[in-house]
Amino acid sequence: KQLSALDVANLYKKRWLIELFFKWLKQHLKIKKFWGTTENAVRIQISVAIITYSLVAIVQHDMNLKRSTYEVLQILSISLTDKTHLHDLFDKTNFNDVKDLNDPLIPGLFD
């Protein structure tokens, strides 16, 4: 079947969006190499990365956060063991670096 130039351009645009998505996953979710060598292991690692991205995007959307997805991911990743409520966590707008959230005075999950 022959495709029109417009069809080819639309397919390339969709492919490019997928490429950018996987680039974001690799950069921000720290996928430098695959843990396993089997097809199943690679699928599981990619699935976990996509689920992680989806959950972060849901938090970002539902809480109407004016932060980048990467910043939300960083805040959540350094706060996994905190007992801080999500709303309180993201209300801390006076920090310059997300590492400032790693306050030893805030009780952790196992404190």
pTM reported for the whole predicted model: 0.61
Asked if 93 contacts 100 with a C-beta cutoff of 8 angstroms, the reply is no
pLDDT class of 74 with cuts at 50, 70, 90:
confident
Q: Is the pLDDT assigned to residue 105 strictly greater than 80?
A: no
Q: What is the pLDDT of residue 37?
A: 85
d(CA 57, CA 65): 10
Q: Which position has the higher pLDDT, 81 or 95?
A: 81
Stretch 27-53: mean pLDDT, rounded? 84
pLDDT class of 78 with cuts at 50, 70, 90:
confident
Cα–Cα separations (whole angstroms), residue 5 to 8, 9, 17, 75: 5, 6, 19, 44
d(CA 85, CA 75): 12
Q: What is the pLDDT of residue 25?
A: 77
